[in-house]
Chains A and B, each alone.
Chain A
Amino acid sequence: MTGSTPLRFCGGLFFRDAITPPPGVPTNGATVSFALVATDWRGNATTTPTQSFAVCGLQSYALGLGGTNTGALAATGTTSAGGTATFAWSALPTSSGGLLALALGRASVPFPEGIVVVDPGSLVTLVPVATDAAGAGALPIPIPASPPLVGLRVAFQGLFGGPLVLTNGVDLVVCP
């Protein structure tokens, strides 16, 4: 996708603003490129060379689906090789068991029980997890110190029982 962001004049010949991707746009694992265009009052314009950067880390997605997808999954930490990302789930049935599904991509697959937002066709594993008396829990996941993993995407979703509640998705892209 493409867009434009005007930079604000900050005084002293200084211009600044932030490119913010629209909500819901998947950017994790993407390459962002931009060029600046300055135009004067006469319409004379100049464009900078394009800059690009890679995006990696942790990004929540498939938020606010409703139905049985009311659980919350979030993650913090570092996704570079050797780092640790901690996944935390909440707003779930108390003291119940569940599974953290890991797949190699995002998806949106409706089932009668809810919407699966990790790609069932590239499922890597299902990690048994549980909630505490507050309906929450957390799991630190170390990122192997393996350079070939850089750029790998893993999508996560929690599925908890009694009655079944699904979470949103979080995807992880391993950083350099």
Chain B
Amino acid sequence: MKHSSLVAALAAAPLLAQASFNQQVGLVTGPTVMSEGVVLCDVDGDGDQDVVFANGYVLNSAGSAIQPTLLINKVNQGLGLVDETASRLPALAIKGTLVVAFDIEGDGDKDLLFSCNGPSQQRLYVNDGAGVFSDQSVARLGALNLACAGCAYGDVDQDGDLDVFLNDELTNGQLKLFRNNGSGVFSNVTATHVAAAPKTNQQDVVLCDLDNDWDLDVVNIGKSAGQQIYWNDGTGRFLTVTTALLPAGTGLTYEAEAADLDHDGDLDLAMLSVSSLTDTVIRNNLVPSGTLSFTSLTTALTGGNGDDDNEWLFVDFDNDGFLDLVDGSLQSSGEKLYRNNGAFSFARQATGFTAVVDSTLDAAVGDLNNDGVFDIVTAQGESGSFLNRAYYGSGPQDTQPPRFVRVEQLPAVSTRPDGPWVVRAVVQDSAVDDGETSVRTVVANWSIAHPGAS
């Protein structure tokens, strides 16, 4: 009896000690340099998620440039995340502030866009399909010596290719739009397509349809009062901007993220440091009121709110169907996990993350070890050891299907017998970060039937 109790206690001990996200010491390799951005994406088409870090000592314009890091995922081969930067990325030091992965020219692979500060050249690395990248920045973006803390992509003009926004860290900076010509060559259309609306020290760009009119609007967040929303007119022009709807923010407002947090059919927001260091979640009131307005609910975040934080991402860690919040922090209290109860209340989980003192500037979510549970990678900079980290999730496997936030209702009659019949939907899955979600495919299965035909 005594023996069996001991066995039971030993067996239970790891579970009791286990956090929802457990640090995997040594899993992240590569140089310990300042990283400000990280993205998980399958660069080599082998079905698992690789890791890209945007590196650079970018806290001021005199900072050093550093080559980005690319870790190839060989976890399931027992090799971990293997640093293959030297053979796969251009031997080029840059001042990376964020990295996003998307297919710029429609060839089916993920290319990399690095926003960079400085001012310095913004960087676009083109994938050869096997995960080897070439620097085609000037050829495809033009000579762009800008100071950017963030970037985002999206098909803003609904022409079938992905366009790019770059923000501006300088005093009275101007958000900039670059339109894709379909072949992955971008032209700066800011002067004609984006309202002139200066904002100092812009930090994050979020594309999302906030007003449910079936186009991508832009939330432009930064370390100055007046957080901007640029409204898309449906053709990719953003000539109307408002600062009246969102919290004014502070000199520490770094980040926002958008998703439908309460399953009511509109996109809500989470935003950092809207009052001193106090973070907030922002409920979109469009549904069911029919009137667009936002309610900032700082008190809905309980536990650790008031730390110096840098990053939001959303992940349904407990597989209950609601997106929970991960708050990447600079504080000694470490990364924070807030459980969403579905009714706009977010309670910090005491055992959310392995307690680690570091300086998180960005984080990314994905399933590194293919066990069906979401994992998280953090990018470290500003202070401390600059040791980037990986955390394996220990919760239940993801069995939640994607959620259709909205599907466009088509008219009952089409007067275009030859089509095309455009179908649009907003979809989120169990992980959301930087406008991406863990959806693999959305497919329209259709039938055409004639009256009387069998």
Contact = CB atoms under 8 A, between A and B. Distances in A.
A96 B123 CA distance: 65
Contact of A13 (B412, B417, B422, B432): B432
Interface stretch (A25-33, A117-125, A130-138, A141-149): A25-33
Given A31-B451, A34-B446, A20 B414 contact: no
Interface string B399-430: 11111110101111111111111111111111
Interface stretch (B57-65, B73-81, B203-211): B203-211
Given A27-B417, A40-B439, A16 B422 contact: yes
A37 B420 contact: no
A35 B403 CA distance: 14
Contacts, number: 237
Contacts of A99: none
Contacts of B289: none
B440 interface: yes
Contacts of A45: 401-402
B15 interface: no
Nearest to A54: B413
Contacts of A55: 413-417
Contacts of B427: 13, 15, 38
Interface stretch (B136-144, B147-155, B276-284, B297-305): B147-155
A30 B449 contact: yes
B interface, by DSSP: helix, strand, loop or mixed? strand
Interface string B307-343: 0000000000000000000000000000000000000
Contacts of A41: 367, 429, 438-440
Contact of A30 (B411, B425, B437, B448): B448
Interface string A34-73: 1111111110111010010111111100000000000000
Interface string A1-20: 11111111111111111111
A167 to B, nearest CB: 18
Contacts of B153: 11
B327 to A, nearest CB: 20
A97 B299 CA distance: 82
Given A32-B448, A40-B401, A46-B402, A27 B443 contact: no
Contact of B412 (A4, A12, A54, A78): A54
A82 interface: no
A56 B154 contact: no
Contacts of A10: 154-155, 158, 162, 216
B420 A33 contact: no
B119 interface: no
B160 interface: yes
Contacts of A103: none
B294 interface: no
Task: From A16, A79, A173, name the one whose CB has the most chain B CB atoms within 10 angstroms.
Answer: A16
Nearest to A42: B398
A79 B404 CA distance: 35
A140 interface: no
Contact of A36 (B208, B367, B428, B443): B443
B445 interface: yes
B444 interface: yes
Contacts of A25: 448
Nearest to A3: B446
Nearest to B217: A12
A176 interface: yes
B414 A11 contact: no
B258 interface: yes
B401 to A, nearest CB: 4
A175 interface: yes
A18 B442 contact: no
B154 A21 contact: no
B450 A39 contact: no
A32 B421 CA distance: 10
B447 interface: yes
Contacts of B412: 53-54
A116 to B, nearest CB: 21
> 10 nearest interchain CB pairs?
A11-B154, A18-B420, A12-B207, A46-B401, A59-B417, A38-B402, A10-B155, A34-B446, A28-B417, A44-B401
Interface of B: 102, 152-155, 158, 160, 162, 206-209, 216, 258-259, 267, 367, 372, 397-405, 407, 409-430, 432, 435-451
19 contacts: A7-B444, A8-B160, A9-B439, A12-B206, A13-B432, A14-B216, A18-B421, A20-B420, A20-B421, A35-B444, A36-B425, A36-B444, A37-B445, A45-B402, A53-B413, A55-B414, A55-B415, A56-B415, A79-B415
Given A7-B425, A19-B423, A57-B417, 17 more contacts: A2-B447, A8-B160, A10-B154, A11-B216, A12-B258, A13-B432, A13-B437, A18-B419, A18-B422, A20-B421, A31-B448, A31-B449, A36-B445, A38-B425, A53-B413, A53-B421, A55-B417
Interface of A: 1-21, 25-42, 44-46, 48, 51, 53-59, 78-80, 151, 173, 175-176
